[in-house]
Structure 1
Amino acid sequence: MNTRTRSGTWRLTDRVRVSGGVVAAGVFGEGSPVVLTHGTPASAYLWREVVPVLARRHTVHVWDMLGFGDSRTDPGVAPSIVRQARTLAELVAHWGLDVPDLVGHDIGAGIVLRAHLVDKVPARRLALLDGAVIGPWNTPFTEHMQRHADAYRTMPPHVFADIIAPRLRTATHREMPDAVLDAYLAPWTGPEGQQRWVDQVTSVHFDDTRDVVDLLDRVTAPTLVLWGEHDQWLDPSTGDRLASAIPRAQREDVPAAGHFVAEDNPRDTADALLRFFGQQADGPDAG
């Protein structure tokens, strides 16, 4: 059983062996299935306030992507978008889901779309939150780290921590409490966490979603493009472009929210998802 304790501590207790490593996962609630996929540099912790709301009507499946949170890659496995999409497909099969609602945030949106369009994971509905899909979506910070990966790998861990902590604070519109920031940073602390951070940065590029972008006009599943209205990492105009590329996609902004939309404003994020999931279905789509 996976729980969010009364004190608010978030923990995923399931461990699922997949082809690229071991995934930390959790299942909450009862009802039609929803799968939540986070982005970088977050973990399933991003969804902790959204899950209880969705779980009143849905069975909510969450996971830490390979190399993120409590999930681990096997030696030599790069946590690329291609790998994560394949992992999502394996998890959907492991959970025995026929036609779930798929939700992806940041690169998680690109992963969800690739899993659906390339790996043929069926989807009843798609929700893309502040999605890194249409390039270029690498931030200048990420591009600098990719160009100078060796420098970031070899700098003292306390110096590395002093660099990434302020960066993470810019993911939200509202000030991030220290305890919350510490929870996001926990998987990236120490020498091992530093290497994991650089591993995921160097494994992901907007070129990885080019083939997905080429297939966007083939999406037939009802799609919601949801964006934090104050996103400093991916401007809301990026959401407009993404919605325009997907036939009949719905487009909404979440007020008082930055890039980590589910962190800034979990209530409005969850409510938007529930409204979308509850709309009259046009029929399942298997991609």
Structure 2
Amino acid sequence: MMNWILENSFDFEGREVRWGVKGKGNPIIFVHGTPWSSFNLRHLIKGLAEKYQVYYFDLLGYGQSDKSNGDVSLGIQNEVLTKLIDFWKLESPIVIGHDFGGTTALRAHLINNKHYEKLVVIDPVAISPWGSPFFKHVNKYEQAFAGMPDYIHEVIVETYIKTAAYNDLNKETIKGIVEPWHGEKGKAAFYRQIAQADSKYTDEIQNKYKNIKIPTLILWGENDTWIPVEKGIELSRLIPNSQLKTIAESGHLVIEEKYEDLITEIIKFID
């Protein structure tokens, strides 16, 4: 996985969460989405670690964290983030979340009352309705998907992740994304996290966006076909005084496609 190793371990209710930290300065926390891992944030982590102390981790059920049978829904991930913030003893970090990671950051702020200095969300799953036909199909036939031969599963995963990008992904990037979903545990975990995706977790907080008072930056891949930019426009209207910046020629996987543009916008916003 291009030597992407999370060296530290945190025990969350008997389940292992792998995490890492780089750089020095004011604290930033990165939260990845689905079906990604902290690997997909490596460019942003490297760029921001030159000026800040950057914390990152793999959500439960993803990457190098615990993939055993259990709750990996959005309903548990904000609890994980909350416990990690307490464990790291961070009073008011800057939090940056992509996709489900943006949702997790929003939920930890609005449900768990975690205060952030600033919040950045990148193509977040934040406005209902959401969930592709593929999500709904897996939800109905999770066991059938998990029981497929490995070679079919690997083709499905690779084909699926490619649809998140506007530009072609290189082989090393594809390998790094797909690798955690290999093997029996990885295969079961891939379909489990899709089957547990439920819009009730965004419905729970959507009417609270108007209460967000922290400075918020919304970044969006202009050509996102997974979550169209219109959702970003709607979200910016719901969060008072938030800023919306679209990134040209990029899709939902803007964190891989246009990470330099993201770093520029994030640093401008933070500073």
Q: What amino acid is aligned across from residue 159 of structure 2 in structure 1? A: P
**Following the alignment from structure 2 to structure 1, what is the Cα–Cα distance between the partners of residues 228 and 86?**
34
CA distance in 2, matches of 1:183, 1:139: 23
Paired residues in the alignment total 271
- CA shift, 1:10, in A, is 2.0
Partner Cα distance (1:167, 1:101) in 2: 31
In the alignment, what sits opposite 1:55?
Answer: 49
Once structures 1 and 2 are overlaid, which stretch shifts more, 259-268 or 154-163? Answer: 154-163
Aligned to 1:282: none
Change (3 A) 1:154 1:76: closer
- In structure 1, C-alpha distance between the alignment counterparts of 2:24 and 2:92, rounded to whole Å: 15
Alignment of 1:1-287 (within 5 A): 9-19=3-13, 21-73=15-67, 77-278=70-271
Structure 1 unmatched runs, 5+: 279-287
Q: Is the 8 A contact 1:20 1:77 kept in 2?
A: no
Q: Measure how far apart 1:9 and its partner are.
A: 3.1
User: What's the % identity of the aligned pairs?
Assistant: 29
Deviation at 1:62, TM superposition (A): 0.5
CA pair 97-83 structure 1, distance change in 2 beyond 3 A: same
Q: CA deviation at 1:76?
A: 5.0
How far 1:254 sits from its partner (Å)? Answer: 1.3
DSSP-derived class of the 1:179 partner: helix
For the 8 Å contact 1:19–1:87, the answer to whether it is kept is: no
> Aligned letter for 2:15?
G
Letter in 1 for 2:9: R
Deviations 1:221-266 (CA, angstroms, capped at 9, x unpaired): 0111100111111101111111111011100011221101110111
Residues 247-256 or 13-22, more deviating? 13-22
Which amino acid letter does the alignment assign opposite residue 234 of structure 1?
Answer: I
- Any unmatched runs of 5+ in structure 2? none
TM-score (norm 2): 0.96
TM-superposed CA distance for 1:110, in Å, is 0.9
Return the alpha-carbon distance in structure 2 between the equivalents of residues 41 and 61 of structure 1.
20
Structure 1 segments (4+ residues) deviating >6 Å: none
- Alpha-carbon RMSD: 1.4
